[in-house]
Structure 1
Amino acid sequence: MRIVISSANEDRPYCVNIAEMIDHHTLWFYQKADRGVERLKEMQRRIAWCDGLLFLISENSLASAECRRDLELARNEGKPIIGVVIDRHTRIPEELGLTNCVNLSDGLTVEAVRDLMRALYIAEHADAPMPPAKEPDLMLSAQGAAPPEMPRADIESVVRALENGDYERARDLIDLLKERGETSVFIDLDAMRALAQSALNRQQEQQKMEQEYRNIYHLIKAEVTRQIGVDAFRRFRQKFPDYDPDGLAAFLPGRPPNKPETLLERLNRMSAKVPLLEWREVPAGRVRIRTGDGDHQKDVDAFLMTRYPITNLQYNMFMKAPNGYCDPRWWDFAPEARKWRDSEPNYKPPQFKGPDRPRETVNWYDARAFCNWLGHILDAKITLPTLRQRQRAIMGDDDRGFPWGADFDPTRCNTVESRTQMTTVVNQYPNGVGPYDIYDLVGNTWEWCLDTVEKPANDTGEKYHVVIHGGAFLSKSNRAHVTHYMSVPPQSQYGSIGFRAVALMR
């Protein structure tokens, strides 16, 4: 079940505790610092995506206009709303329109966990009898709420915090472990803290950039402040030349009036309701690869590429769509692909869960089928990138070896040197983007390419092998270099191979 938690900013620690308790569901809650228009847009998308809303009830949330708006969005979408009381002194207004209500104000007791699981089960099985929502007995004690428990501090909690993108909590938990004098013969706590702090710094830098952009957006959209906004956007572009998700460049002088919508603008507009499905343009150029027998150059036409790898959430939409995974026509691009689909009607789940992680454990046939389906939805020619297209997106015009420059940097991507030993969310490395503002072009997962190559002589089971490129979380840095690639059988399904999509411009 896909669940969104709505809470006041002050109550966010409860979200983390609940996420740890119900980790067999797909759960999301807002974690960024900015709480304005950016939060509203993200909550609109997530509530449309989810199967139910958990509303944390406290004096803070009832006083929050944002939380009230979350309830309205969920009601408008027809989503079940489960109230979760976290403050025993809070009275529940009747107008909240709750489907069910559970009491966690005494902590995560066995009874409270059971009640929450039952409420989720009822919401997930809409045809089951629904008990009437009632207000829990919140005034059983005149002594007030029980004192909060000390946060659980162990390596598992740290890892969960890192997985959830709560890097500040991860850092604080590590500090608590060190304060308690806990040590390990094998685990380097200082390295873990440095990882959490580095990720937190990147996250805060990204949030600051996004907030500055949103402020400029509001200035430009209002005619009375438009010129101030345009001047601010010019300065903004000097530092962030490739970040313009809302197309503010259209307001800069020199753009022809009534210019027709480009393919990039159309795909970004049509993809706007799907989290992390964004497109970036890679202009035409030349790929120059230096090998032992000299330089090899190849011209590459302009194309559009997804800004992030395809995520678990996006692939899950394909699996659940009435015309998605259940429709075998998307595998009709090759007889062996259709044969695979007919013989393997069931898909494998990803090795690493989380809506914003890259979707792995997908073979080449299924990755191409997803692209065919997405192209049908967006009315565009969408496919897997070729090796040269991926290299062009990394190298730009200065023949760099990695997206950020000539030298490898383990803080800019997820390879074995980063010591994560798992995939990370696809937007974790803003300082590792390439020249065209594209994330995770190296590390995290290998990515399928469109190219096929001759199979090895000792492989008797396949007609050909397929190129993979970019390295993964378990790869050494040399495999993340732009010139390195491998080939594997097209039926391969590993937790270290994912994919992204490109749209052809002609």
Structure 2
Amino acid sequence: MSGRRDVSDLLPDFVFVPSQPFIIGTPDHELGALAKAFGGTRESYREESPQHTLTLPPFAIARTPVTSALYAAYIADSGARPPLIWRGSTPPDEMRDCPVTDVSWEDAQQFCRWLSETMATQYRLPTEAEWEHAARGSDGRRFPWGNGWDPSRANTRDGGHGEIMPVGMNPSGASPFGCLDMAGNVWEWTASLDAPYPYRRDDGREDALAPGRRILRGGSFANPRGFARCACRFRLAPTVRNEFLGFRLACSIT
């Protein structure tokens, strides 16, 4: 098994998110404006409505997504399938500090189990509500840094780099809690099943064994800015892998 110290050196920093009321989703009266600003119809954004207020238990979330370097330690120790984009069992040097991609929801779950055993700490994927709280704070802002779009703060198709970038390359795009890369770069798997709002923790959507599509958040370097909004919800089957899908870690606070 990989040494705990070696893995610890590759772990991201974590930030604490307190239990406090926060706004999730998009109000119904703004759906038409989103369609005009970002394309589609108002019904394209219906899944984000109704906007509502939640209060979750406190939690910790990684400041940045899991890197290929950390994921490589998992591959070496577990013998799991490496991402095909690596073209081998280890990532190219230029990808080591980038978010790992080409991982499915199921891959991310397996990684969390391995990391929890290795580090004797329970790591998991954030729920989509936790992700949104960490991304937008308590005031319902549109992007992690505020309501106005700024292409210098995110790696998206609108003025981004046109390719995946190392984690933490846009510090000015930090969320109110100091999380980075929550707008663009890679889509991030969450623990949550695709289910309509209002969000409820106890309605089965957080059942890790339930079948169904899982929610992703944040957009990627290949997507326009509308997908980088904090409230944007995307979903895929838990077996899907591609070069745009990654994840970040969370921990419960007890």
- Unaligned runs of at least 5 residues, structure 2: 29-48, 196-209
Q: Structure 1's 319 and 409: CA in aligned 2 closer, same or farther, altered over 3 A? A: same
Partner residue in 2 for 1:280: 15
Runs of 4+ in 1 over 6 A off after TM superposition: 269-272
Query: Are 1:485 and 2:221 counterparts?
Result: no
The equivalent position to 2:156 in structure 1, one of 415, 437, 442, is 415
Give the Cα–Cα distance (whole angstroms) in 1 for the partners of residues 218 and 177 of structure 2.
Answer: 16
Query: Are 1:299 and 2:40 counterparts?
Result: no
Aligned length, in residue pairs: 211
Q: CA deviation at 1:277?
A: 2.0
Q: Please report the TM-score for the alignment, with normalisation by the length of structure 2.
A: 0.76
Q: CA deviation at 1:419?
A: 3.9
Which structure shows the higher helix fraction? 1
Give the Cα–Cα distance (whole angstroms) in 2 for the partners of residues 382 and 271 of structure 1.
Answer: 17
Partner residue in 2 for 1:444: 185
SS at match of 1:370: helix
Give the Cα–Cα distance (whole angstroms) in 1 for the partners of residues 62 and 144 of structure 2.
Answer: 15
Contact 1:285–1:392 (CA<8 Å) still a contact in 2?
Answer: no
Contact 1:276–1:308 (CA<8 Å) still a contact in 2?
Answer: no
Partner residue in 1 for 2:145: 404
Q: Please report the TM-score for the alignment, with normalisation by the length of structure 1.
A: 0.39
Give the Cα–Cα distance (whole angstroms) in 2 for the partners of residues 309 and 390 of structure 1.
Answer: 12
SS at match of 1:290: coil
Q: Which has the higher relative contact order, 1 or 2, with Cα contacts under 8 A spaced 6 or more apart? A: 2
> C-alpha root-mean-square deviation of aligned residues, in Å?
2.3
Q: CA deviation at 1:285?
A: 2.0
Deviations 1:181-200 (CA, angstroms, capped at 9, x unpaired): xxxxxxxxxxxxxxxxxxxx
Give the Cα–Cα distance (whole angstroms) in 2 for the partners of residues 466 and 400 of structure 1.
Answer: 24
Give the Cα–Cα distance (whole angstroms) in 2 for the partners of residues 368 and 294 of structure 1.
Answer: 29
The equivalent position to 1:501 in structure 2, one of 227, 239, 249, is 249
Question: How do residues 129-208 of structure 1 correspond to structure 2 at under 5 angstroms?
Answer: none
Contact 2:152–2:160 (CA<8 Å) still a contact in 1?
Answer: no
Q: Structure 1's 359 and 294: CA in aligned 2 closer, same or farther, altered over 3 A? A: closer
Give the Cα–Cα distance (whole angstroms) in 2 for the partners of residues 410 and 419 of structure 1.
Answer: 7
Question: How do residues 83-482 of structure 1 correspond to structure 2 at under 5 angstroms?
Answer: 273-275=8-10, 277-288=12-23, 289-292=25-28, 294-321=50-77, 324-326=78-80, 346-350=81-85, 353=92, 354-453=95-194, 463-482=211-230
Deviations 1:414-453 (CA, angstroms, capped at 9, x unpaired): 0001242210000211111111111101110000010112
Give the Cα–Cα distance (whole angstroms) in 1 for the partners of residues 74 and 104 of structure 2.
Answer: 15
Q: CA deviation at 1:312?
A: 0.5
Structure of larger gyration radius: 1
**Identical counterparts, % of pairs:** 26
Contact 1:287–1:391 (CA<8 Å) still a contact in 2?
Answer: no
Instruction: Please tell me the residue identity of whatever aligns with 1:493.
Output: R
